[in-house]
Structure 1
């Protein structure tokens, strides 16, 4: 498991992921020895024009290092919070909360959720100098390692080491931090997936270039300014009252949900309200036309009174028709259309200062259409596209985010979270009712709150995945003091992830209270990402299967639930499934779909016979892989026994193809 990963990481280079993608789509450009034929590749992608050698790109110290970090696998294991996950509200939940570094979290998610996320929202550190961002990682690369892996000079390697080991809030450090995470996030998005990133002026321009690099400049959709506060003291030359929301898509397959038009003039109702919805009065039927048409210049009789465009007399109208001017008053509708509209409730006559005026109705859910048989009333759903100025409305400000938290916690836990209204809008315009939403800078879990709230309102079954580093909250930091006291008073660990989880629980309680008939998923599964401790790593290094050395404490160090959760996710089953325990002659194995997992020691010949019997008599039992925890079975004889019996089983009448894998 961990040992396998460490060995694989030794062979990883900064461009390993990119090479895998190229091999998938441009296999012909690789020679037998694995070298890449650039000339042939250029010919493959050329469109009848010469390939330009020069390019425009964002360069920064540590870019190749960030690629290396994105390419190496994580050595963390997934520890399920068994007590929390077994609670009734969480046992069957499809929502996920991960406590751990989001770089590790993204790598784990890619094993089961690759190309399955519809919407990502993140609110990363803004690198303002006051938001606590300092780059630091725990990867133990030496200067010599980096020179070899990145093909950089000794000086460049030293500067990268300085960024990672001493901690830095420079632009390069921030870009290096974001680049590795965005590379992974892109691979999680569905083809019609989208990502929204909150940012302010400090890194806004750099983030735009970084996203152009990761997602492609052609996949930039919009940049929304967002109001942060309406009032505030001017600390510099101007008052800074907004930040930004950067919006990218994975591909051009994206379609956005448009917003309903209720309340935007659609305030009137008539006898057709049930099928057509509310309506608004549109402009008068007569107007000064840019292009006059005699066919639109006709008389309309209303209650015995004859009306003409522009309140003209009969003589004026006839003169106008003879002259056929380029521009003058006429009706907007043809005579046939008016007669149909008038008979079917699309016309209103109102008394004005200069006499009667004819108005048309625009219904929310109906319009007049025409086909070969004539006019008919067609059902429509009028919507509007989201404006780039949408988030300048004060309901999206930080003032409202503070109110959101105060309503749940009764105290002002944090000052700079995002409001639920912002995330609810983002999720509503980008997702359908069964999509998955990811936030890997979860913070106070506003995104999870918004997903639950929206599901309760529209009956959706959207799922959320939150990832949050368990940042320690200190009473010595003014901005964290209230949050620390809240966690202490509620007997919770003083880390930021527990603020987020508590918010989800409290938001769920409010939804239950307000909507007692609600049946949406208001729970979540909780997992922690843990690095093996140094003692365990020493045991892994010293384990010698050839010498038949065994150390059953390795299983105890990891824990069976963690091994099972990590394997299920690594095999593509995700984090919300439960393996079935099966009894094999007194030995407990674990089974899910295509895999049987052997974790404990003690699997012997009798257990193997029981497994073969289960294959023979249970027609629904057809796992294709048998996976063994190597540290529990150092004896070669066990492996040989399993392989021998699997060959017999594979050669049987059922023609099975069962693979056998040992994991370390």
Structure 2
């Protein structure tokens, strides 16, 4: 009971929706569609030519959101990082739309794969969504860097649950997703791909949204992930979800070759076979006996045992004597040519459905050394074709696959505590997608990082196959609700859980590598927080003389009060001051040099130097000697009584050495 009388209008709308489902959207009636449904010929006559499109309340505002610029930056936190100076992995705490804006320069066209697991819009999950009439929470403003140094809101979002009862239930979710997908597309390489997990609540809308942002022609696949074998439901048990895959440019992606995954256990089988070849040489009968014995000794469920039918051997390698018969499709025209037995010379017995290959391909196979056709002891046995394990060791990823969701929960509980983070993603599945779509040195991004499953998958994959893939994760510091297991365990935000999990995965993999005597891959991560800019911001609208004087101070002292020339300022310069061919990611190596009393930050081995403390004759002399490509110096500090003369002389000396001087 809600204490109110019957809502007649709502009841009438529900009745109409039962009769005409297409005329009601999010609780509102489209009267033109209703008139059309009732036979009015001109009801939907458009003012302009009709075209196919996805529309929702707030779409225009979502488009404008993409054009908004940000003055925010990222502040490094070495104390919360692991191996900050040496790692190529990055974890960012902050509101992901603002972070995507901040990363547009340094990561434009650098990401090979994006995987995200956004809110599914179930009516119970919380996410930030546009609301022009909503006040932001103070915690949201401070932690996400949403206010500038003058206290002005950068964006107006409300953080909360989008309830099904809302008249804009689907619209607010679409408005949340649109700008994030649009901006992340800029970060993808030409041959890059995005994978997005989703369930039945929004899969239909997400597919259309991705069609708009990435182009329908760049659709790759809609994967169906079965997460359990059974479920409870009044009508149909839903035991699956989806992963939508789109390419940045499908033609460029296909130009890089086919996607294939190594079959599990194949490498171990081939290693065993090579050991037997070393032992028995060309005695293929002995090799076969040994392979069969080895397969029998493997435990049930072992991935290697799935290849036990590959136990024949010849000088080309390990093979399976596969069926050579054509399919039973009733065709009388199937090839039925004679194949002579290599020993008796007589024609071999033919399958009732004819041969799989025509006469020309059969002749080619017989001419190979060794032949690619397997014969029995005499002509009474139907020949087989040889399927070599080394040649079919990989396979395409299936659009439908099963992986139990409970294993992922147990994995996370073992790292961050029981009940701390519900419904994490399975790292084994993510590892397979990463291995499928990326190369050994590629960058993988996830801006809905959650508990950090994508980072976990990248670290584990690098350790397993000796690759150097890097991750870039973004997680909003969503407060953990009191009385939850996460809060009891000491976590205050979801970002705390992300950071803790990655640190423990790092420790776990490092310990394992030491025990096995194997070299450890990159197991660190750089931790950053989204914060307001270190620089004062020029405001185009001046309220009066006092504010004008404040703005003019920008020419004398561009740094905000209390900001020192240190790592935070260096990070902002790398994010905002680079461009063209030398775009620099957050993981770029930086070495600190001492030049007299000043510190020089040497970025990327001489790509550029930053002298944040100012320009001095000692700094100029060191740059002339070392010859970096560029020397960047704050324009407000020159370290001399006559700055104009110093700058002019320095520019001439540096130009002679091939060094470009740039004043910030």
Same fold (TM over 0.5): yes
CA displacement at 1:301 relative to structure 2: 7.0
1:363 aligns with 2:388: yes
Structure 1 equivalent of residue 504 of structure 2: 506
Greater CA deviation, 201-210 or 587-596?
Answer: 587-596
Structure 1 equivalent of residue 323 of structure 2: 283
SS at match of 2:445: strand
**Corresponding residue to 2:585 among 568, 574, 579:** 574
Query: In the TM superposition, what whole-angstrom CA distance separates every residue of 1:377-436 from its partner, at most 9, and x where no partner exists?
Result: xxx4553222211x3x1x2x3222212213334524322111112211210110111111
Structure 2 equivalent of residue 64 of structure 1: 60
1:206 aligns with 2:194: no
Query: In the TM superposition, what whole-angstrom CA distance separates every residue of 1:571-622 from its partner, at most 9, and x where no partner exists?
Result: 232212354445555343444345443544xx4xxx5322333344x0x323
Structure 1 equivalent of residue 77 of structure 2: 81
**Corresponding residue to 2:117 among 113, 123, 126:** 123
Distance of 1:188 and 1:502 partners within structure 2: 27
**Corresponding residue to 2:247 among 231, 241, 249:** 249
Distance of 1:238 and 1:658 partners within structure 2: 68
1:220 aligns with 2:261: no
1:167–1:536 CA distance, 2 compared to 1 (3 A) = farther
Q: Is the 8 A contact 2:311 2:320 kept in 1?
A: no
Q: Is the 8 A contact 2:262 2:395 kept in 1?
A: yes
Distance of 2:651 and 2:559 partners within structure 1: 32
1:131–1:598 CA distance, 2 compared to 1 (3 A) = same
Structure 1 equivalent of residue 492 of structure 2: 494
Distance of 1:448 and 1:129 partners within structure 2: 28
Query: In the TM superposition, what whole-angstrom CA distance separates every residue of 1:226-252 from its partner, at most 9, and x where no partner exists?
Result: 123322221x53222221111100002
**Corresponding residue to 2:648 among 644, 648, 657:** 644
Distance of 1:553 and 1:473 partners within structure 2: 34
Instruction: Report how many residues are paired.
Output: 532
1:357–1:100 CA distance, 2 compared to 1 (3 A) = same
Q: Is the 8 A contact 1:80 1:527 kept in 2?
A: yes
Provide TM-score, normalisation by structure 2: 0.70
Matches within 5 A, 1:403-442: 403-409=410-416, 411-442=418-449
CA displacement at 1:267 relative to structure 2: 2.2
CA displacement at 1:62 relative to structure 2: 2.7
SS at match of 1:644: helix
CA displacement at 1:119 relative to structure 2: 0.5
Larger helix proportion of the pair: 1
**Corresponding residue to 1:259 among 246, 261, 269:** 261
Structure 2 equivalent of residue 388 of structure 1: 399
Structure 2 equivalent of residue 462 of structure 1: 469
CA displacement at 1:64 relative to structure 2: 3.1
Matches within 5 A, 1:131-530: 131-135=125-129, 170-234=169-233, 236-251=234-249, 252-255=251-254, 256-261=258-263, 262=266, 266-270=307-311, 272=313, 276-277=317-318, 279-284=319-324, 290=331, 292=333, 296-297=337-338, 300=341, 307-309=348-350, 329=354, 332=357, 334=359, 336=363, 339-340=366-367, 344=371, 346-349=373-376, 356-365=381-390, 380-389=391-400, 391=401, 393=402, 395=403, 397-409=404-416, 411-476=418-483, 481-486=484-489, 488=490, 493-516=491-514, 517-530=518-531
Gaps of 5+ in 1: 1-51, 143-160, 312-327, 366-379
Q: Is the 8 A contact 1:266 1:363 kept in 2?
A: no
Gaps of 5+ in 2: 1-47, 137-154, 164-168, 267-303, 540-545
SS at match of 1:309: coil
Structure 2 equivalent of residue 12 of structure 1: none
